[in-house]
Amino acid sequence: MEFVIIAIVILAIIVIISCIKIVPQAHAYIVERLGAYQATWSVGLHFKMPFLDKVAKRVLLKEQVVDFPPQPVITKDNVTMQIDTVVFFQITDPKLFTYGVESPMVAIENLTATTLRNIIGDLELDQTLTSRETINTKMRATLDEATDPWGIKVTRVELKNIMPPTAIRDAMEKQMKAERERREAILKAEGEKKSTILVAEGKKESVILEAEAEKQSAILRAEAEKEKKIREAEGEAEAILKVKQATADGIKMIKEAGADEAVIKLRSLDAFEAASNGQATKIIIPSEIQGIAGLAKSVKEVL
C-alpha cells in the first residue's frame, strides 16, 4: 500500500512538473485545449491544465532567412534564365502563422516563384540584369501583402544570382570585351591628343620665352650703348670744361701778375701761332695784332 502511495505521489509530481512551461526570449507557444486554440504564451513562466492542454506549436519570432533554389523564368524577349532568391521574413502573429496556412515555407517559396515570373515576364534581358533594386522592391511589396493573412512580415527580398544561358553569357562576355577594347582605344587616342597638345604648348612657350629673352637682350644692349654715349659725352664735356677752366685760370693769373695790354696781345700771337700749325690754310689776323707784330719785330732789330 505504501508503494502505491509513493508511486502516485511521484506520478503527481511528474505531471505537475510537466505542466510547468518556460517560454524563452523571442519565442511564442500556441496552446490548445482539447484540440481547440486556447492561448498564445509569450516569454515567461506558464502553467497548463494536465491532460487537457498541450503546446501545439513553438513559434520563433526572430527574423529568419530562407534561400530558395533557382527558379526558371522567361524574360519579355524570350530568354530563359535561372534566378534564385533570398527572402527575409519575421512572424508577427503566432496564431495566424499556426492556423493560417499549411506549410508556410512551401507557400512562401511558391508565392516567390510565381511573383518572380510575373515581374521578369514584363522585363527584357538587359532590364533584368540592371534592375535588381526595382525587382526586389516589387517582390517585397507583393509578398508582404500576400503573407499578411498568415501572420508573416516580409522585410526584404534579394535576387541572389541571375544565371542566363551559356550562349547569352558568351555573347555578353564578347560584348563586354569589345566595349573594354573600345574604351581602351578612346583613352589611348585621348592620351595621344593631350600629349600632342602639351608638346605644341611647350614649343609655343619655348618660342615665346626665346622672343622675350631676345627682346630683353636688345633692351639691355640699347641701354648699354646709351650709357656708353652718355659717358663719352660726359667725358668730352668734362674735358672741354677743364680746358675752359685752364684758360680762365691763365687769364686770371696774367691779370693778377699785372701784365699790360701789350703782353696780352703777345699771348694772342702765341695762340695764332699754335693755330697756324693746324690744318687751317688761311688765318685772318686782326689789324691790332698786326701792329703789335710790327712792334715786336722792331724791338728785335734794335736789340
Tens of pLDDT, residue by residue over 59-90, are 999 999 998 888 888 888 888 888 889 999 99
What does the alpha-carbon distance between residue 119 and residue 138 come to, in Å, rounded to a whole number?
A: 8
Which class would CATH give 64-164?
alpha beta
Grid cell 674735358 is found at 239
Q: Quick check: helix, strand or coil at residue 1?
A: coil
Beta-bridge mates of residue 33: 36, 53
| Averaged confidence pLDDT in the chain | 81
Tens of pLDDT, residue by residue over 190-201, are 988 888 898 888
Q: Is 148 exposed, middle or buried (0-12, 13-18, 19+ CB in 10 A)?
A: middle
- Its pTM surpasses 0.85: no
Grid cell 618660342 is found at 207
Beta-bridge mates of residue 22: 45
Q: What is the dihedral of CA 178, 180, 185, 191, to 10 degrees?
A: 170
Q: Do the beta carbons of residue 88 and residue 63 sit within 8 Å?
A: yes
Write down the domain spans for the chain. Answer: 2-60, 64-164, 191-257, 259-303
CA distances from 217 to 25, 222, 224, 226 (A): 93, 9, 10, 14
Q: Do the beta carbons of residue 73 and residue 117 sit within 8 Å?
A: yes
- What percentage of residues in the chain have a pLDDT greater than 90? 20
Q: Quick check: helix, strand or coil at residue 153?
A: strand
Tens of pLDDT, residue by residue over 83-124, are 889 999 999 999 999 998 888 889 999 999 999 999 988 888
Of 139-153, 242-256, 288-302, the poorest mean pLDDT is in 288-302
* Helix or strand run (H / E) with residue 211: helix 166-257
What does the alpha-carbon distance between residue 212 and residue 199 come to, in Å, rounded to a whole number?
A: 20
∠ CA 142-148-152, nearest 5°, is 105
Nearest CA-CA partner of 81 in 145, 127, 46, 37: 127
